[in-house]
Amino acid sequence: MHRVVVYRDDADKGRQMVPYTTTAPYGSPNPRDLWKWMQGYEDKTGGKLLAIAHNGNLSNGIMFPFDAQYDGATLDQEYVSTRMRWEPLYEVTQMKGDGETHPFLSPNDEFADYENWSFGNLDLSVAKTNDMLAGEYGREALKRGLALEAKLGTNPYKFGLIGSTDSHTSLATTEESNFFGKMSTMEPGPERLVNVLVKTENDTIYYREAVASGLAAVWAQDNTRESLFDAMARKETYASTGPRMQIRVFAGWDYSAEDLNSEDFVQLGYKNGVPMGGDLSGASEGQAPRLMVVAIKDPDGGNLDRLQIIKGWMDSEGNTHERVIDVACSDARTIVEHRCDKPVGNTVDVTTATYSNTIGDASLKTLWSDPEFDANQSAFYYVRVLEIPTPRWTTFDAVKFGVDLPDDVPATIQDRAYTSPIWYTP
């Protein structure tokens, strides 16, 4: 339940108040209390703050409440409006598991089973149950937000997405071939694949289950604290599980193929629509959102497999839904019933921890219009970009140190990125 608090201002303002913590006498574990402190900071200093909620996949379902907060307090208009005021971003991926979605929550998403941590919490004192998962994963929270907006008037989970390492070593390494772990005891060595991170009578977590993730990407106008803060506040961000992909997404009503292929693609995107993190409204009869998506691979990473649009919406009866739609496939593959007609393939040699970029594409782009758009339904759209399979960091360790690769970790992974959503409100 940690939050990371980001200051737009310099130290002169920052020093005017003692930083808030989760323990007395300088803090509380209740986010409502943190939000009050943040309001007090802005009132006193004239500065600006935002908070980013820590990845919630170990929160036992309390990160994204729907009826009541973990302390029993009912979710009300004050809670939803205040949370949205102070928390524009969410850390959707990091070292302790990926938090986009889970196979139980997204059974029709064949890529949902990615680096999930199905544990209760770090001390493993509470057994994880499936009913907790909806309060822990980002995609389900985005859907819950649509329902809460209909119920209370404000969407508290209208957040952009970032990734972070959660490293405590100052070595923020996210490359699979150069992963230094969360803390100094997890640095590379022949015992890392068998060493235990946490052990109780209920379960065991091994170092090998750590994830070489993630990174926060921010589309700022300048490389300054103020500009970076402003970009985060407007949610023009995306999360990567490690690779330094470049991704742009714009949504509007009138984009054309000429806009997508123009040298002025970015300028046209801003002029005639909204970027990732933005809002659409005012659909005319017969119109549907058009999304322009461009993705470029990490120059030092794997090629791209596909572009996917994740759509979530709420129907007239208040039920929420999701759909995964492949919108661009590498290697000239075709799309059949919303999916690339075949897998991209796999060039990984596990015995040498190598792969080849002879499959996949260096870049992908598309102009997509929602064929099932209903102007009366609230919805969101975000983009997931998948790389081709590459060796997992544990495979690099096994080769480097000449040890066996444990059976309970995958030899390969498909790194990915998640963009902040774009919302449609009737």
Q: Are residues 143 and 56 in the same domain?
A: yes
Q: Are residues 159 and 250 in the same domain?
A: no
What is the rounded average pLDDT of the residues 35-64? 95
Q: Would you say residue 193 lies in a domain?
A: no
Q: Are residues 381 and 262 in the same domain?
A: yes
Q: Would you say residue 219 lies in a domain?
A: no
**Predicted local distance difference test score (pLDDT) of residue 404:** 95
- Domain final position from 164, 190, 218: 164
Q: Are residues 22 and 127 in the same domain?
A: yes
Q: Would you say residue 321 lies in a domain?
A: yes
Confidence class for position 110, pLDDT limits 50, 70, 90 = very high
Q: How far is CA 280 from the centre of its chain?
A: 21
Query: What count of other Cβ atoms lies within 10 Å of the Cβ of residue 414?
Result: 18
Q: Please give, one letter per residue, the 3-state secondary structure of 147-207.
A: HHHHHHCCCCCCCEEEECCCCCCCCCCCCHHHCCCCCHHHCCCCCCCCCEEEECCCCEEEH
What is the rounded average pLDDT of the residues 204-230? 95
* Among candidate residues 320, 308, 300, 426, the one with its CA nearest the CA of residue 373: 426
Q: Would you say residue 34 lies in a domain?
A: yes
How far is residue 52's CA from residue 34's CA, in Å, rounded to a whole number? Answer: 12
Q: With 80 as the cut, is the pLDDT of residue 418 above it? A: yes
What is the rounded average pLDDT of the residues 100-115? 97
Q: With 90 as the cut, is the pLDDT of residue 123 above it? A: no
H or E stretch at 51 = strand 49-53
Q: Are residues 275 and 411 in the same domain?
A: yes
CB neighbour list of residue 344: distance below 8 Å, 6 or more residues apart: 305, 306, 329, 330, 331, 333, 359, 360, 388, 389
Q: Which residue has the higher pLDDT, 182 or 125?
A: 182
**Predicted local distance difference test score (pLDDT) of residue 127:** 81
Q: What angle do CA 166, 170, 175 make, to 5 degrees?
A: 70
Structure tokens that stand for 323 in this block: 């759909």
Q: State the residue range of the domain holding 412.
A: 237-424
**Predicted local distance difference test score (pLDDT) of residue 169:** 87
C-beta of residue 292 within 8 angstroms of C-beta of residue 265: yes
What is the rounded average pLDDT of the residues 217-244? 97
Q: Are residues 42 and 155 in the same domain?
A: yes
Q: Are residues 158 and 243 in the same domain?
A: no
Q: How far is CA 388 from the centre of its chain?
A: 19
Q: Would you say residue 112 lies in a domain?
A: yes
Q: With 80 as the cut, is the pLDDT of residue 234 above it? A: yes
Q: With 80 as the cut, is the pLDDT of residue 201 above it? A: no
Q: With 90 as the cut, is the pLDDT of residue 200 above it? A: no
Q: Would you say residue 207 lies in a domain?
A: no
Confidence class for position 307, pLDDT limits 50, 70, 90 = very high
Q: Are residues 270 and 403 in the same domain?
A: yes
**Predicted local distance difference test score (pLDDT) of residue 44:** 97
Q: Are residues 146 and 262 in the same domain?
A: no
**Predicted local distance difference test score (pLDDT) of residue 85:** 97
Could you report the per-residue pLDDT of 146-194, keeping only the tens digit for each? 999 999 999 999 999 999 999 988 888 899 999 999 889 999 999 999 9
- Domain final position from 104, 130, 164: 164
Q: Domain count for the chain, please give it.
A: 2
Q: How far is CA 238 from the centre of its chain?
A: 7
What is the rounded average pLDDT of the residues 342-357? 98
**Predicted local distance difference test score (pLDDT) of residue 173:** 87
Q: Are residues 291 and 406 in the same domain?
A: yes
Percent of the chain's residues with pLDDT above 90: 86
What is the rounded average pLDDT of the residues 9-33? 92
Q: With 80 as the cut, is the pLDDT of residue 10 above it? A: yes
**Predicted local distance difference test score (pLDDT) of residue 330:** 98
Q: Would you say residue 179 lies in a domain?
A: no
Q: With 90 as the cut, is the pLDDT of residue 97 above it? A: yes
Q: Would you say residue 189 lies in a domain?
A: no
How far is residue 14's CA from residue 123's CA, in Å, rounded to a whole number? Answer: 34
On average, the pLDDT of the chain sits at 95
Beta strands at 320-329 and 304-314: parallel, antiparallel or unpaired: antiparallel
Confidence class for position 368, pLDDT limits 50, 70, 90 = very high
- Domain final position from 164, 193, 227: 164
Specify which residues 335 forms β-bridges with: 340
Q: Are residues 256 and 379 in the same domain?
A: yes
What is the rounded average pLDDT of the residues 61-78? 92
Q: Are residues 264 and 135 in the same domain?
A: no
**Predicted local distance difference test score (pLDDT) of residue 64:** 96
Q: With 80 as the cut, is the pLDDT of residue 69 above it? A: yes
